[in-house]
């Protein structure tokens, strides 16, 4: 193990320990907020994987986040107390009553035209499974079509952007099944066995923090595998990788799907802590905001993007407490973003990497010439 | 049916109005300007402010908005975009930041609202523009009711498109722009001052967006966030039409406008927009270079 890599893993470990210690110092209100930001950190990981490592700038990551969120939210909606009080012995979401077909029975099967789609969601684990399956399925279908046709760069971004806006409009239009603009609110709690994850208790925080740690480390391991290295080769020069005989679309689709799965998982966790799902998850600005987090943290660093997302949201939350400053903060974010793109294209993580490299190089003067060559190649690879 | 087609045509002309500037900046300079929608917004605010403070109408606002947004565009090109040529996706991200800055500048009244100073016509609220009497009401042509303001929009779009075509294909500066579209390095080698032409192109594209904003202000409420959906629409038009092709943008704006109008007449506005997005996705997948792509060299 090279010393850079050792430092790298030490930083990852430090981060995991840090987020595990948060409940010792925070009250439940802040714990819930930080849990949300950790979820955004997970989105940062998803963006870094597809943008930094696969070279696919996905301007529609919100599609996968939203899909995951809605799938679990449908199950949790059926688990909420109000859904059981709608005059049927089995749960029916309250908004369906307001949109009911004239003369329809108050049953999930037929109360509105497409309400039967909700039937399997009476099982929470069906919703949970769909929260992973649906984003992956969408990513694979899009990936196979788009990457097989060798569409790349900005065109993929536009396709994803149009797709997320299309789905958002359809969701809004399908009011009787999705509650349209209002989204799904008044949800029940997520349950494992008999344990209920109230969003304001410490175990829920650990559910989120633990999930984030697992995803973070898994993503880090994944990019060190052979597939991960080939993927980075594809990002750097697609044609060369193709000439070398690699099935480029397969690698791109695989990592696109992994990124989608992470985003979908993040969507589900977000529903658990925030107790709602809404079409705003599929707004253009949300999808671009995720990219902003990753860019500020460092698009080519899994942990950097994750920390970028958490840090920006933490600072926003603190700053927005001051009345009237929230809008100014938005302007500052805009400014930071312009400056990062112009002067710090590798983000905070890139800056940190350079600092670490310098320290390491100073500590081991004998090895430095070799190290410098190694640095240069690894920078080229980035 | 004639009325539906007319509405489609006017929707298409609005799309074209927004897309025209983008077609030039994206096609010629390889810059995805996400702040383009904010130029539209600034143009709309110029109409609001000139109406409030100078007492002038929408006709005066057109040249005024063009000048203001062109200068703003020139400024953005100098400060931000110039440093990012050749980094397409980075231009998208940086101009997104610029877009937020412009929005917040309007919302916070250039920061003056912190000091308790308020400028009438700015701020986070909604603004309205009164349209001169001449442009109100409807015309009766061939048994159909034709909205006068929509007719005005179609005319302005036609004039601007012709002007852009003339500039691009019948002047020396336009020839230089087209040379840069084809091959910037070769153009530079032939003695074209690429930096200068790019800056002016960007300013012109921004100015067109400003005029689009004036036209928008006549039939839509004006507010700081109004530009974001427009840049998306404009961008779809450009990509579908084919980068660097003026004709492509004109036709794809017309097609998307008509699709939007016809589907909306049959169902509702939300589904119509969804169908438009679907069509754009299908066309990018089938013809990634757009309907009328230039042959690259």
Q: Quote the ipTM score.
A: 0.86
Is B124 at the interface with chain A, CB within 8 A?
Answer: yes
CB pairs < 8 Å spanning A and B: 112
* B284 found inside a domain: no
* B262 found inside a domain: no
Q: What is the four-CA torsion angle of A7, A260, A289, A233, rounded to 10 degrees? A: 50
Residues A52, A305: contact at Cβ < 8 Å?
yes
A342/B232 Cβ within 8 A: no
Q: Hey, what are A369's tokens?
A: 């010439």
| CA A135 – CA A69 distance, rounded (Å) | 10
| CA A356 – CA B208 distance, rounded (Å) | 48
pLDDT of residue A381: 46
pLDDT of residue B111: 73
Over the stretch A154-179, which tens digit does the pLDDT of each residue have? 888 889 999 999 999 999 988 888 88
Please give the residue of chain B at the shortest CA–CA distance from A331.
Answer: B101
- pLDDT of residue B296 exceeding 70: no
Rg of chain A over all Cα atoms, to the nearest angstrom: 22
Q: Which residues numbered 251-270 in B keep a CB inside 8 Å of some CB on A?
A: 268, 270
Residues A154, B90: contact at Cβ < 8 Å?
no
Please give the residue of chain B at the shortest CA–CA distance from A180.
Answer: B270
* B201 found inside a domain: yes
Task: Name the least confident of A56-60, A100-104, A190-194, A276-280.
Answer: A100-104
Contacts of A115 (CB under 8 A, 6+ apart): A96, A108, A109, A176, A177
* B270, B277, B284: residue with CB nearest A172: B270
Please choose, from the candidates B191, B277, B53, the residue with its C-alpha nearest in 3D space to the C-alpha of residue A161: B277
Residues A72, A131: contact at Cβ < 8 Å?
yes
- Provide the 10 A C-beta neighbour count for residue A114: 10
* B251 found inside a domain: no
Over the stretch A35-51, which tens digit does the pLDDT of each residue have? 999 999 999 999 999 99
A158/B284 Cβ within 8 A: yes
Contacts of B18 (CB under 8 A, 6+ apart): B36, B37, B40, B209, B212, B230, B231, B233, B234, B237
Task: Calculate ∠ Cα A247-A250-A253, nearest 5°.
Answer: 150
Average pLDDT over residues B279-296: 80
| CA A157 – CA A163 distance, rounded (Å) | 10
Average pLDDT of every residue of chain A: 86
Over the stretch A358-381, which tens digit does the pLDDT of each residue have? 887 777 655 444 444 444 444 444
Chain B residues in contact with A333 (beta carbon < 8 A) = 97, 100
Q: Which of A55, A145, A154, A336 to mutate to test the interface with B (most CBs of B within 10 A)?
A: A154
Nearest-Cα distance to chain A for B116, in Å, is 12
- pLDDT of residue A83 exceeding 90: no
Q: Which domain holds residue B187?
A: 2-113+133-226
Percentage of chain B modeled with pLDDT above 70: 97
Over the stretch B187-236, which tens digit does the pLDDT of each residue have? 889 888 888 988 999 999 999 999 999 988 888 888 888 888 888 888 88
pLDDT of residue A348: 85
Chain A residues in contact with B111 (beta carbon < 8 A) = 328
* A161, A163, A337: residue with CB nearest B96: A337
Average pLDDT over residues A112-130: 87
* A151, A330, A342: residue with CB nearest B83: A342
Average pLDDT over residues A190-200: 87
* A155, A159, A342: residue with CB nearest B80: A342
Average pLDDT over residues A306-332: 83
Q: What's the per-residue H, E or C state across A162-195?
A: HHHHHHHHHHHHCHHHHCHHHCECCCCCEEECCE
| CA A330 – CA A335 distance, rounded (Å) | 9
| CA A104 – CA A113 distance, rounded (Å) | 10
pLDDT of residue B297: 42
Q: Which of B88, B233, B270, B283 to mutate to test the interface with A (most CBs of A within 10 A)?
A: B270
Is B119 at the interface with chain A, CB within 8 A?
Answer: no
* B154 found inside a domain: yes
* H/E run at residue A368: helix A368-381
| CA B211 – CA B216 distance, rounded (Å) | 9
A197 forms bridges with which residues in the sheet? A190
* H/E run at residue B144: strand B144-147
Nearest-Cα distance to chain A for B284, in Å, is 7
Name the pLDDT band for B265 (thresholds 50, 70, 90): confident
* B244 found inside a domain: no
Q: How many CA atoms lie within 13 A of A165 on its CB side?
A: 27
* B97, B228, B270: residue with CB nearest A341: B97
Residues B237, B20: contact at Cβ < 8 Å?
no
Residues A264, A135: contact at Cβ < 8 Å?
yes
* B15 found inside a domain: yes
Residues A268, A128: contact at Cβ < 8 Å?
yes
pLDDT of residue B211: 92
Task: Calculate ∠ Cα B9-B14-B19, nearest 5°.
Answer: 120
Q: Which of B114, B288, B290, B291 to mutate to test the interface with A (most CBs of A within 10 A)?
A: B288
pLDDT of residue B65: 93
B236/A165 Cβ within 8 A: no
Q: How far from the centroid of its chain's Cα atoms is residue A152's Cα?
A: 22
pLDDT of residue A150: 85
Percentage of chain A modeled with pLDDT above 70: 94
* B235 found inside a domain: no
- pLDDT of residue B39 exceeding 50: yes
Average pLDDT over residues A226-239: 88
Nearest-Cα distance to chain B for A174, in Å, is 10
Q: Hey, what are A123's tokens?
A: 């099982």
Residues A246, A30: contact at Cβ < 8 Å?
no
Residues A164, A157: contact at Cβ < 8 Å?
no
| CA A175 – CA A181 distance, rounded (Å) | 8
Alpha helices in chain B (DSSP H): 2-29, 36-49, 58-79, 88-107, 148-170, 172-182, 184-189, 194-217, 227-241, 246-266, 269-286
pLDDT of residue B295: 59
Q: Hey, what are B176's tokens?
A: 């230089």
* B114, B232, B268: residue with CB nearest A165: B232
Residues A167, A160: contact at Cβ < 8 Å?
no
Residues A308, A44: contact at Cβ < 8 Å?
yes
Task: Name the least confident of A271-285, A325-339, B122-136.
Answer: B122-136
Chain B residues in contact with A324 (beta carbon < 8 A) = 114
**How many domains does chain B divide into?**
1
B101/A335 Cβ within 8 A: yes
Name the pLDDT band for A1 (thresholds 50, 70, 90): low
B114/A324 Cβ within 8 A: yes
| CA B31 – CA B48 distance, rounded (Å) | 29
- Provide the 10 A C-beta neighbour count for residue A109: 12
| CA A181 – CA A97 distance, rounded (Å) | 17
B38 forms bridges with which residues in the sheet? none
Chain B residues in contact with A163 (beta carbon < 8 A) = 277, 281
- pLDDT of residue A286 exceeding 80: yes
Contacts of B119 (CB under 8 A, 6+ apart): B109, B110, B112
More confident call, A364 vs A293: A293
Unique residue bearing structure tokens 């090109």: B77
* B101, B114, B284: residue with CB nearest A159: B284
Average pLDDT over residues B32-54: 89
Q: Which of A54, A169, A339 to mutate to test the interface with B (most CBs of B within 10 A)?
A: A169
* H/E run at residue B141: strand B138-141
* A149, A324, A334: residue with CB nearest B285: A149
pLDDT of residue A373: 42
More confident call, A109 vs B38: B38
Over the stretch A219-230, which tens digit does the pLDDT of each residue have? 999 988 998 888
């Amino acid at each position: 193990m090279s010393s850079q890599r050792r430092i790298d893993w030490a930083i990852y470990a430090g981060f995991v320990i840090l987020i595990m210690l948060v409940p010792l110092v925070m009250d439940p209100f802040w714990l819930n907020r930080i849990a949300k930001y950790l979820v955004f950190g997970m989105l940062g990981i998803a963006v870094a994987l597809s943008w930094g490592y696969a070279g696919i700038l996905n301007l529609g990551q919100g599609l996968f986040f939203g899909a995951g969120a809605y799938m679990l939210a449908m199950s949790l909606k059926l688990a909420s107390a109000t859904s059981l009080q709608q005059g049927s012995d089995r749960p029916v979401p309250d908004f369906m009553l307001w949109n009911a077909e004239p003369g329809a029975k108050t049953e999930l099967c037929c109360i509105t035209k497409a309400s039967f789609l909700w039937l399997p969601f009476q099982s929470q684990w069906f919703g949970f499974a769909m929260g992973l399956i649906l984003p992956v399925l969408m990513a694979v279908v899009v990936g196979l079509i788009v990457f097989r046709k060798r569409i790349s760069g900005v065109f993929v971004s536009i396709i994803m952007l149009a797709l997320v806006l299309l789905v958002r409009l359809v969701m809004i239009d399908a009011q009787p099944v999705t509650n349209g603009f209002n989204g799904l609110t008044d949800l029940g709690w997520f349950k494992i066995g008999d344990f209920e994850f109230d969003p304001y208790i410490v175990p829920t925080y650990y559910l989120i923090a633990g999930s984030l740690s697992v995803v973070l480390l898994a993503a880090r391991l994944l990019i060190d595998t052979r597939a991960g290295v080939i993927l980075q080769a594809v990002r750097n020069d697609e044609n060369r990788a193709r000439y070398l005989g690699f099935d480029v679309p397969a690698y791109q689709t695989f990592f696109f799907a992994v990124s989608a799965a992470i985003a979908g998982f993040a969507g589900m966790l977000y529903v658990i802590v925030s107790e709602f799902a809404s079409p705003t998850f599929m707004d253009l600005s949300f999808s671009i905001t995720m990219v902003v987090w990753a860019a500020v943290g460092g698009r080519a660093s899994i942990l950097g993007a994750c920390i970028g997302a958490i840090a920006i949201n933490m600072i926003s939350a603190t700053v927005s407490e001051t009345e009237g400053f929230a809008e100014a903060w938005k302007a500052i974010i805009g400014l930071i973003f312009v400056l990062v793109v112009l002067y710090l294209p590798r983000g905070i993580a890139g800056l940190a990497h350079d600092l670490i490299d310098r320290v390491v190089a100073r500590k081991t003067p004998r090895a430095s010439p070799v190290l410098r060559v190694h640095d240069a190649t690894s920078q080229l690879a980035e | 049916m004639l009325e539906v087609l007319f509405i489609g045509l006017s929707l298409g002309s609005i799309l074209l109005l927004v897309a025209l500037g983008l077609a030039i900046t994206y096609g010629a300079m390889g810059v995805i300007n996400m702040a383009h929608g904010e130029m539209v917004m600034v143009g709309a605010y110029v109409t609001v402010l000139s109406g409030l403070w100078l007492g002038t109408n929408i006709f005066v606002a057109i040249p005024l908005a063009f000048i203001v947004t062109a200068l703003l565009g020139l400024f953005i090109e100098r400060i931000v975009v110039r440093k990012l040529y050749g980094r397409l996706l980075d231009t998208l991200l940086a101009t997104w930041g610029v877009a937020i800055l412009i929005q917040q500048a309007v919302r916070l009244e250039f920061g003056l609202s912190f000091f308790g100073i308020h400028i009438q016509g700015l701020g986070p609220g909604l603004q309205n523009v009164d349209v001169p009497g001449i442009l109100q009401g409807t015309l009766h042509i061939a048994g159909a009711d034709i909205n006068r303001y929509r007719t005005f929009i179609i005319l302005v779009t036609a004039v601007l498109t012709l002007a852009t075509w003339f500039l691009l294909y019948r002047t020396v500066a336009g020839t230089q722009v087209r040379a840069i579209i084809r091959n910037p390095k070769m153009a530079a080698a032939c003695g074209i001052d690429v930096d200068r032409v790019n800056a002016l192109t960007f300013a012109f594209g921004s100015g067109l967006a400003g005029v689009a904003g004036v036209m928008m202000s006549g039939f839509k409420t004006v507010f700081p966030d109004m530009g974001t959906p427009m840049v998306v629409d404009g961008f779809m038009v450009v990509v579908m039409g084919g980068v660097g092709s003026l004709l492509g943008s004109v036709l794809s704006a017309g097609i998307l406008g008509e699709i939007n109008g016809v589907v909306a007449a049959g169902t509702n506005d939300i589904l119509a927009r969804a169908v438009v997005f679907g069509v754009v996705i299908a066309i990018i997948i089938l013809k990634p270079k757009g309907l009328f792509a230039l042959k690259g060299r």
